[in-house]
Amino acid sequence: MRSTVTVLLACLLSLTASAERLFDIDGPVELHIWMTAKSGHADALEKTFVDVFYPAVSSMPGFRGALLMRKPGTDDFTVRLSFDTEEQRMQWVASDKHQQAWPALSSHSGKTDYDGFAVIHPK
């Protein structure tokens, strides 16, 4: 299930703003990215999220939140990323900041997969 090759993820996440929407929703949108750190890279993955990835993504319009979660006792991580709209998420993906931050973070992962979700709030 989480066996998608990192290269495929990088290609999908690097779509430009003019590309077709990945998720047919108006927003808000949440992306979950599952990463397994390369051997000996777990601490570097955490540090890169805090020092590089989060500052870059949190400066973008429509940003709602980003979390890095680690499954205890493993090198398995989940990045939880949320934007007001899919268009704003795609603007992040097309940005120069993403082109620097994502490769820095994903370079510490040996296995990466993702899925997108429409966020449903109770009334």
**DSSP tally for the chain: helices H, then strands E:** 5, 4
- Contacts of residue 68, defined as CB under 8 A and 6 or more positions apart, other chains included, come to 45, 46, 49, 50, 54, 77, 78, 79, 80
Closest CA to 32 of 72, 64, 78, 90: 78
List the chain domain ranges: 6-14+23-118
Which has the minimum average pLDDT: 6-15, 19-28, 43-52, 105-114? 6-15
CA–chain centroid gap for 80, Å, is 7
Say what the pTM is. Answer: 0.77
Instruction: List, for residues 82-120, the tens digit of each pLDDT value.
Output: 999 989 999 999 999 999 999 999 999 999 999 888 888
- Output the pLDDT for position 2: 39
Give the fold, CATH level 3, of 6-14+23-118: Alpha-Beta Plaits (3.30.70)
Rounded distance between C-alpha atoms, residue 56 and residue 98, angstroms: 7
Using DSSP's 3-state secondary structure scheme, residue 59 falls into: coil
Label residue 12 by pLDDT band (50, 70, 90).
very low
Complete DSSP assignment for 14-39? T--TTSPPSS---S-EEEEEEEEEPT
Rounded distance between C-alpha atoms, residue 43 and residue 27, angstroms: 33
pLDDT at 81 over 70: yes
Rounded distance between C-alpha atoms, residue 99 and residue 5, angstroms: 18
- Output the pLDDT for position 16: 34
